[in-house]
C-alpha cells in the first residue's frame, strides 16, 4: 500500500492539464521549408490551450479538441521573371539616331508574411512518473502525431500571401496591369498542397513528442519550514511515485507515492 | 467505488505515511518529546525543552523532573490485527502507542543550618507503556493551505495500581501528549503529494487505515 494517494477525476484532470498547458507556455523554433516552388524561411511559435480529458484505463489520457495556437513569420523570394512576360522597349530611330533596345529584367522580390491561426488536435497521451534530478516529474506524453487539419485558416493564409505579393511589387513601374494576374499565378504555384505541406512541416515537430508536465514534486518534500534554532525544517523524501489511470464507477488519474 | 466518489479529487495518507511523518518530525525536532527541569535540561535545545521545576515550599531546588516520550506510532481505524491496545480505535478514530520515561530528581538535603554539606540528587525513573485514542482535527484556511493534527480523547497506561493512581497518571500523560501533539501539523499539500491545491469539501475522515479528504481543485 502506498503512503500517499492522490486521485483526480476527469473534470479535475482537465483542470490539471490546462494548468500544464499554461506552464508549457509558448514554444518557438525557426527553419526553412518548401512553399510550393519557393523556399521559405520561417520562425514559428506555438502554444496549447483548451481541450477536454477523457481518462481511458489502463494508462491513456485522451485529450480532445486541444487548441494549437500558432504564429508564423516567414518570407520567401519570388523571381518575377518566372511569372511576368519579358518587357522590352523597342529600338526607335529618328533622323538617323537610334535608341538601343531596352529589355526590362524583373527583380526577385522578398515577400514577408505574418500569420496566426488555431487548429485543434485530438490525441492519446500516456502518463508516467520519473525522478529527474531533485524532482519527481509526472509527464503526459503524446503517443502519435494526430492528423493536422488545416482548414479555413489555410485559405486565409493564401489570401494573406496574395495581398503580400501585391504589396511587394506595387512599386515596380509598368507592372500595374499584371498585378492581379501575378498574385493569382503565385497562389496557383504554391497551391493548397504546398501551403499545408509547409504548415505541416512547421507545426508537426511541436506536436511530435508533445509532453505536458504537472508541477514538479521535490523528492525532498517540505513538510514544515524551519521555525527557529530549535525547530529545523522537516522534510519527507518521496522514494517512489507512480501514475496511472484507474477504472471504477468513474475513471480517475491516480498518483501513488511512497515516502521515507 | 472510485476514490473521488462524488467529488473531483481525493487525497489520502496511509497509516504508514503518517508514521513516517511522525518519525521524521520527531527525529528532526526531538525537543517535542523530551522535557526536563533545569537539573536535567538546563536550556532549550533541538534535543530537549527546558521547563521549570515544580516548586514546593521547603524543597531547596524545587522538584526536578524529566519526561521523555518515545516516537509515537498511530494505528488508524480499523485497528491492526493483534493490537494490544486496551482502547483500540473505532470508526473515524486513531490509536496511538508510545512509551514514556518519567524521571524524578530524588533530592536529599540536610536542614541543619550548621551543616554545609550540599544535598544530593539521585534520578529515579519509571518507563511506562502508553496507549491512547484520538481523532483528527482539521485546520483549513483555504485552497491548499491548512493542516491536520491529532487530538487525544483518552489515554490508558495499563497495570498501574491502585486505579486512582492510574487515573492520575493517565490524566497527566494525556495532557502532556495532547500538548506535544499540537506540534504535529501535517499540511494539506503533503496529503495531495503536492500535485494539486485541495479545496476541502469533505473530511478528514479515518477509514481503511488512512486519513482521507475530498474536494475540488
CB contact at 8 A, A214 and A235: no
Contacts of B3 in chain A (CB under 8 A): 5, 7, 246, 248, 252, 254
- Asked if B28 and A16 come within 8 Å (Cβ–Cβ), the reply is no
pLDDT tier at B117 (50, 70, 90 boundaries)? low
The reported pLDDT for the residue numbered A181 is 80
Query: Is A57's Cβ below 8 Å from some Cβ in B?
Result: no
DSSP bridge partners of B88: none
How far is Cα of residue B137 from the mean position of the Cα atoms in its chain?
14
Which residues from A are below 8 Å from B4, CB to CB? Answer: 7-9, 12, 250, 252
Answer whether B201 touches A (CB < 8 Å): no
In chain B, which residue ranges form alpha helices assigned H by DSSP? 15-28, 163-181, 188-191
* Interchain contact, B24 vs A223, CB within 8 Å: yes
Confidence check: pLDDT of B194 > 90: no
Neighboring chain A residues of B217 at a CB cutoff of 8 Å: 8, 12, 15-16
**A31 pLDDT more than 90:** yes
Quick check: B199 contacting A, CB < 8 Å? no
Instruction: Give the mean pLDDT of A41-61.
Output: 93
Cell of A133: 534530478
Cα distances (Å, whole numbers) of residue A193 to A36, A43, A50: 8, 20, 28
- Residue A35, pLDDT score: 84
- Is residue B169 scored above 90 in pLDDT? yes
pLDDT above 70: residue B16: yes
Contact with chain A for residue B153, Cβ under 8 A: no
Residue A230: its chain B contacts at CB < 8 A?
29, 31, 44-46, 49
pLDDT, average across residues A152-178: 80
Provide, rounded to the nearest whole percent, the portion of chain A with pLDDT above 70: 99
Interchain contact, B20 vs A260, CB within 8 Å: yes
CB proximity list for A240: less than 8 A, separation 6 or greater: A256, A257, A258
Query: Considering CB atoms only, which of B8, B44, B46 is closest to A232?
Result: B46
Asked if pLDDT for residue A192 goes beyond 90, the answer is no
Q: What's residue B14's pLDDT?
A: 96
More confident residue, B183 or B77: B77
Q: How far apart are CA B170 and CA B161, in angstroms?
A: 12
- In the predicted structure, residue A36 carries a pLDDT above the cut 90: no
CB proximity A240 to B under 8 Å: no
Do residue A236 and residue B21 have CB atoms under 8 angstroms apart? yes
List CB contacts of B203: < 8 A, sequence separation 6 or more.
Answer: B138, B211, B212, B213, B214
Phi, psi angles (nearest 5°) of residue B160: -90, 130
Asked if A217's CB is within 8 angstroms of B187's CB, the reply is no
Q: Which of A1, A6, A16 faces B193 most closely, judged by CB atoms?
A: A6
- The pTM of this model reads 0.84
* φ/ψ of residue B94, rounded to 5: -130, 145
What is the secondary structure of B17-49 as a DSSP string?
HHHHHHHHHHHH-GGGTEEE-TTT--S--SS-E
Name beta bridge partners: A108.
A79
Q: Is the pLDDT of residue B152 over 90?
A: yes
> Is the CB of A17 inside 8 Å of chain B's CB atoms?
no
Higher pLDDT, A32 or A155: A32
A259 contacts on B by Cβ (under 8 Å): 17, 20-21
**Residue contacts between A and B (CB atoms, under 8 Å):** 126
Confidence of residue B111 (pLDDT cuts 50, 70, 90): confident
Residue A27, pLDDT > 70, answer yes
- Residue A148 and residue A79: Cα distance in Å, rounded? 31
Section B14-22 average pLDDT: 96
Is A254 within 8 Å of chain B by CB? yes
Amino acid at each position: 500500500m502506498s503512503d500517499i494517494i492522490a486521485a483526480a477525476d476527469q473534470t479535475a484532470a482537465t483542470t490539471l492539464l490546462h494548468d500544464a498547458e499554461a506552464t508549457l507556455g509558448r514554444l518557438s523554433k525557426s527553419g526553412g521549408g518548401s512553399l510550393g516552388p519557393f523556399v521559405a524561411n520561417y520562425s514559428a511559435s506555438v502554444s496549447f490551450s483548451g481541450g477536454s480529458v477523457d481518462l481511458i484505463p489502463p494508462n491513456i489520457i485522451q485529450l480532445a479538441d486541444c487548441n494549437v495556437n500558432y504564429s508564423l513569420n516567414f518570407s520567401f523570394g519570388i523571381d518575377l521573371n518566372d511569372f511576368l512576360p519579358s518587357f522590352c522597349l523597342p529600338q526607335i530611330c529618328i533622323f538617323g539616331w537610334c535608341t538601343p533596345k531596352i529589355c526590362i529584367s524583373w527583380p526577385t522580390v522578398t515577400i514577408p508574411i505574418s500569420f496566426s491561426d488555431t487548429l485543434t488536435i485530438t490525441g492519446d497521451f500516456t502518463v508516467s512518473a520519473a525522478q529527474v534530478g531533485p524532482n519527481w516529474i509526472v509527464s503526459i506524453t503524446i503517443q502519435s502525431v494526430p492528423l493536422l487539419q488545416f482548414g479555413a485558416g489555410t485559405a486565409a493564409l493564401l489570401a494573406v500571401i496574395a495581398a503580400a505579393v501585391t504589396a511587394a511589387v506595387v512599386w515596380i513601374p509598368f507592372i500595374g496591369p499584371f498585378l492581379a494576374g501575378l498574385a493569382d499565378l503565385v497562389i496557383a504555384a504554391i497551391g493548397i498542397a504546398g501551403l499545408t505541406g509547409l504548415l505541416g512541416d512547421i507545426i508537426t515537430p511541436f506536436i511530435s513528442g508533445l509532453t505536458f508536465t504537472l508541477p514538479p514534486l521535490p523528492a525532498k518534500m517540505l513538510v514544515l519550514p524551519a521555525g527557529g534554532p530549535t525547530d529545523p525544517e522537516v522534510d519527507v523524501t518521496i522514494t517512489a511515485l507512480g501514475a496511472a489511470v484507474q477504472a471504477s464507477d468513474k475513471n480517475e488519474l491516480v498518483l501513488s507515492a511512497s515516502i521515507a | 467505488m472510485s476514490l473521488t466518489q462524488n467529488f473531483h479529487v481525493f487525497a489520502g495518507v496511509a497509516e504508514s505515511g503518517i508514521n513516517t511523518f511522525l518519525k521524521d518530525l520527531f527525529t528532526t525536532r526531538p525537543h517535542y518529546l523530551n522535557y526536563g527541569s533545569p537539573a536535567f535540561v538546563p536550556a532549550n535545545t533541538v534535543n530537549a525543552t527546558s521547563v521549570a521545576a515544580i516548586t514546593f515550599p521547603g524543597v531547596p531546588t524545587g522538584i526536578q523532573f524529566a519526561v521523555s516520550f518515545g516516537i509515537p506510532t498511530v494505528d488508524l481505524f480499523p485497528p491492526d490485527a493483534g493490537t494490544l491496545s486496551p482502547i483500540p480505535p473505532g470508526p473515524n478514530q486513531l490509536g496511538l502507542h508510545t512509551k514514556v520515561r518519567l524521571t524524578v530528581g530524588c533530592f536529599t538535603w540536610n536542614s541543619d543550618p550548621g551543616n554545609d554539606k550540599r544535598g544530593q540528587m539521585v534520578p529515579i525513573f519509571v518507563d511506562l507503556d502508553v496507549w491512547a485514542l484520538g481523532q483528527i482535527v482539521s485546520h483549513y484556511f483555504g485552497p491548499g493551505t491548512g493542516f491536520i493534527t491529532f487530538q487525544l480523547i483518552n489515554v490508558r497506561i495499563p497495570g498501574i495500581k491502585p486505579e486512582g493512581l492510574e487515573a492520575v497518571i493517565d490524566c497527566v500523560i494525556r495532557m502532556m501528549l495532547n500538548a506535544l501533539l499540537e506540534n504535529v501539523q501535517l499540511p494539506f499539500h503533503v496529503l495531495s503529494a503536492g500535485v494539486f491545491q485541495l479545496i476541502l469539501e469533505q473530511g478528514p475522515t479515518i477509514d481503511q487505515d488512512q486519513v482521507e479528504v475530498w474536494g475540488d481543485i
